[in-house]
A = this chain, B = another copy of it.
Amino acid sequence: MTLADDKIAKLTAALRNAGVRVTRQRIALLSVLRDAKDHPDAEELLKRTKLIEPAVSLATVYRTLSLLEAAGVVHRHSFEGGSARFETATKKHHDHIVDLDSGEVIEFNSDKIEQLQNEIAAQLGFDVIHHRMELYCRKRR
């Protein structure tokens, strides 16, 4: 059992503990999400999951993603133009640059910006629950 498998084991135990059933489909999707180094959409996740567990449907992928999102395990990003993209919530908070030419998604984070966002909201009497910051860019040349 590798470290990665162990992570999934812990995760599924936690889910089971929360009254969520650990099915073949869910385990397969979790491992796909764990291995993903990009920001795949539901169709792409279905394709990858089918390689591990052929008995999965798109509806189940969506349902499971919503479940994991509600559990705080995955994040959903609705970038301009296409369908929603997903990633595990394991890394620390970050925002995204979208390359308008290639479609590539690059991650970045700025504590300064995050702090300014909170200050601005506070000044207006708000607490920031979550936010969206996406920079649509082109390679400088």
In the complex the two chains form, is B80's CB within 8 Å of A97's CB?
no
In the assembled complex, A36 has its CB within 8 A of some CB on chain B: no
Q: How many residues of chain A are within 8 Å of chain B by beta carbon?
A: 32
In the complex the two chains form, is A106's CB within 8 Å of B133's CB?
no
Task: Count this chain's copies in the assembly.
Answer: 2
- A113–B138 alpha-carbon span in the complex (Å): 19
In the complex the two chains form, is B127's CB within 8 Å of A136's CB?
no
Neighbouring B residues of A133 by C-beta, 8 Å: 117, 131-134
0/1 interface trace, chain A 127-141, chain B, CB 8 Å (1 if under): 111111111111110
- A127–B120 alpha-carbon span in the complex (Å): 25
Q: Which of A78, A120, A128, A138 neighbours the largest number of chain B CB atoms within 10 Å of its CB?
A: A120
In the assembled complex, A116 has its CB within 8 A of some CB on chain B: yes
| Between-chain CB contacts (< 8 Å), 10 pairs | A78-B78, A97-B121, A108-B120, A117-B133, A121-B135, A125-B139, A126-B135, A127-B139, A131-B133, A131-B135
Listed in ascending order, the chain A residues whose CB lies under 8 Å from chain B are 78, 80, 97, 99-100, 106, 108, 110, 112-113, 116-117, 120-122, 124-140
